[in-house]
Chains A and B, each alone.
Chain A
Amino acid sequence: MSVVDRDAPAARADGTAAFENETPARPAARRGRSGSRASTVTFYSGIAFIVIYCLAPYYWMVVSSFRRTSDIFSLSPIPQPFSLENYAAVFDPGQSFGRALVNSVIVAGTTTVVALAIGITTSYALARLKFRFKRALLAMIIATSMFPQVAIVVPLLKLFTGIGWINTYQAMIAPSLSFALPLAVWTLTTFFRQLPVELEHAALVDGCTRWQAFRRIILPLAAPGVFTTAIITFIGAWNEFLIALSMTNSPDYQTAPVAISQFSGAAAFVAPFGSQMAAGVIVTVPLLILVMIFQRRIVAGLAAGAVK
């Protein structure tokens, strides 16, 4: 039991590495475990279940987005006839969805850049330096990442209403930092910890100041981790809904998630399912492309950070 408990905490940070580098020893050993025909069948049906579970609902969204309004309730697994009608409807000027996408890019992009710019030095300090209140700071960052956003929205909504910030980008970016900054700091800290500490020692021996060691040696090496953190933070900020909903009431400043949730159909009383699905696909495709390209790194960052 003691062996068990002592090893386990390292699991999360390291499992990432194990996941990325498929060392020959382990798969070989595994093959022994799943050797029999029956277990092979079980295993492949398990894999099939996971893939279908994850992709089937999204596939249905894509299929529905390519149907015509007249056959939107069709149950055929491929859209027949294939139609771009819904995509045309989404970009109808009346929906101002293009504007919403631009707003989302501005809000999520700025939030990500600011969170990383502010958080990067803190993450380095948390990963490498010893200082008073370090545990308090870590506890604060973990606590804030669990924090119910709605609790800060109320006073900020009142404050921003008073100073005329409703329908501005800063009214969405500032509260978004409440979740983006802890997320960025936490994920970055785990990446900094993975860099060998000897590098800084060598730099200091060679006469660098601590700042120079960080700036010239560590930061370039940490670039992949910083980039991964940026993607994870960006996805979090891009998906944000409550703050954007509360801080705007004009379509000119709504972000894409808010705009989609408030889509109106051409005819009243008819929910615009087709254009909602098309808009959903448009909003998710950039994220999915990012995820497909950087999947290994994102998995590493998520597993290490253990924060949504």
Chain B
Amino acid sequence: MTHRLADSRFAAALVSPTVLVLLLVIVYPVVAAMIQSTYGAAGLDEETGFVSDSEPFVGLGNYAAIFGEGGARFWNAFVNTSFFTVVSVSLETVIGVAMALVMNQALRGRGIVRASILVPWAIPTVVSALLWKWIFNSNGVANAMLGTDILWSAGGFASQVTIIVADVWKTAPFIGLLVLAGLQLIPEEVYEAAKMDGASVWRRFVSITLPLVKPALLVAVLFRMLDTLRMFDLPYVLIGPRKESVETLAMLVQDQASNVRYGAAAAYAVILFLYVFAVAFVFVGLLGANVVDDDARPRQTLVERLRRPGPSRAGVQS
């Protein structure tokens, strides 16, 4: 139907403002960051002994430094980032799916549940970081309830736990929301039929619910993973900058940039960018492979799935 509306000049006019702005605020800075990452910091030139205002070209020197002398700090941040991503997203997914299952059963109290679910989502990360910092204060309510005297902010594993708790609290309900949207499309009859066939609750969950919500769930998990990989606000405010136990790659970038070491900061940023890109690529690849139909339909990538208009396919069951 839409071909009658098609007019490439009209379309070009409609999309060009967005393309222009994205080029300016994303593509240009990314290219600039890649170029910047090959320059050192302005200051004392080691060869001539003069102080210079311009930044010397160092080629891949910044990268060599990151994997060489700066290696310990980089790998620590890399491990922290990956650890937070794996643990937080796993917990969020489990709790989020459980929440969605409960909400899907809701006959009464839907409004209050929906409103509650949106509260952690709407609270700024900085505020939630302060909130959990307060809860995890050494004289705070967490220690009182647990009957412990843990110094949560002193670093080490305890600090990592606070980050994970705060992150899971804020985002598990969000996953629940997205999974719920998927759950609500499963026709009741499918469950009735399985019930009559004597399938247990667990069996129904594993064989019906999970496969059916998988596409919605995978998209939610992908977005959450990429979001956690760039985590900055939460550890920065909850524990603080330059703390070994919680320093993430994004914090490393910001720390270098705020110390006017743009070259090193850009090199870290490019590495983070490539890491995020690689995770997205692998995940989309797996996703594409997993969601392929058994019939002759072509393989679908994430992008294709996402762009597929929803309403026109609503309720297709045959």
Contact = CB atoms under 8 A, between A and B. Distances in A.
Given A8-B215, A12-B181, A291-B122, A151 B99 contact: no
B115 A295 contact: yes
20 contacts: A3-B317, A7-B313, A8-B182, A8-B185, A9-B215, A11-B181, A12-B219, A13-B310, A16-B181, A19-B114, A43-B105, A51-B113, A58-B131, A73-B139, A146-B223, A146-B226, A146-B227, A155-B36, A185-B18, A257-B125
A154 interface: yes
Given A10-B316, A27-B107, A1 B18 contact: no
B8 A131 contact: yes
A170 B232 CA distance: 22
A152 B120 contact: no
B110 to A, nearest CB: 7
A19 to B, nearest CB: 6
A172 B280 CA distance: 27
Nearest to A303: B181
Given A257-B124, A257-B125, 10 more contacts: A7-B313, A29-B192, A118-B21, A124-B14, A141-B22, A153-B254, A155-B36, A261-B129, A261-B236, A299-B114
B150 interface: no
Contacts of A290: 122
A166 B24 CA distance: 18
B4 A194 contact: no
A157 interface: yes
Interface stretch (B67-75, B86-94, B169-177): B169-177
A13 B104 CA distance: 16
Contacts of A128: 2, 5
Nearest to B297: A6
B8 A6 contact: no
Contacts of B236: 241, 261
B126 A257 contact: yes
Contact of A130 (B6, B98, B130, B233): B6
B196 interface: no
Given A5-B293, A292-B115, A144 B22 contact: yes
A11 B215 CA distance: 8
A109 to B, nearest CB: 16
A75 B144 contact: yes
B230 A150 contact: yes
B169 A53 contact: yes
Contact of B105 (A34, A54, A152): A34
Interface residues of B, number: 138
Nearest to B290: A5
B269 A14 contact: no
A148 interface: yes
A283 B124 contact: yes
A302 B297 CA distance: 29
B307 A138 contact: yes
A143 B254 CA distance: 22
A302 B303 contact: no
Interface in B160-215: 169, 172-174, 176-178, 180-185, 188, 191-192, 211-215
Contact of B119 (A60, A241, A288, A296): A288
Contact of B183 (A15, A194, A260): A15
